[in-house]
Amino acid sequence: MITETDGYVELIHYLTEQLPLFEKRKLPAGSANYTLRDVLEEKLSQHMMALFEQNDIDQDTRLDIVREADAIMYDLEEILSSVLDNHPSEQQETFIIEFVGLVKNLFDQRLNTKG
């Protein structure tokens, strides 16, 4: 649906360009009571739920979106594997929120051109 598109490839390039934001930033355990992995999972889930609520989507398309979201999470875990268990900084969390919003925009665009 979107993981094979130029837009998604560009998003992954954007993420890799931002990797310095995630390097050498292991924060003390008290900085956040959750990990970067937690933020990724929560924000991606929230955006997918919003996508379902905002669009009239048939069951097959919903399943395709869930599979795509799993693939996206896998890609994010691969790229950020060395820092997933770190507590995120405010800048890291802000970036993840922005990035996941851009992923949702790709889904929105795809659904609007599909229908």
pLDDT in tens, 90-113: 999 999 999 999 999 999 999 998
Residue 13 counted as domain residue: no
pTM for the whole structure: 0.89
Q: What pLDDT shows up at residue 23?
A: 83
Q: Which domain holds residue 71?
A: 32-114
**Furthest-apart CA atoms within the chain: distance in Å:** 48
In a domain, 37, yes or no: yes
Any domain includes 10: no
56 located within any domain: yes
Residue 104: CB atoms within 10 A of its CB come to: 20
Contact 66, 26 (CB under 8 A): no
What is the per-residue pLDDT across 49-90, written as a single tens digit (0 to 9) for each?
999 999 999 999 999 999 999 999 999 999 999 999 999 989
Specify if 20 maps to a domain: no
In a domain, residue 14? The reply is no
CA distances from 46 to 5, 13, 42, 43 (A): 22, 23, 6, 5
Total domains in the fold of the chain: 1
Residue 64 covered by a domain: yes
pLDDT at 16: 96
Q: What percent of the chain has pLDDT over 70?
A: 92
Q: Is 63 part of any domain?
A: yes
Asked if residue 27 has pLDDT above 70, the reply is no
pLDDT for 29:
54
Helix extents (H) in the chain: 6-17, 36-54, 59-79, 90-114
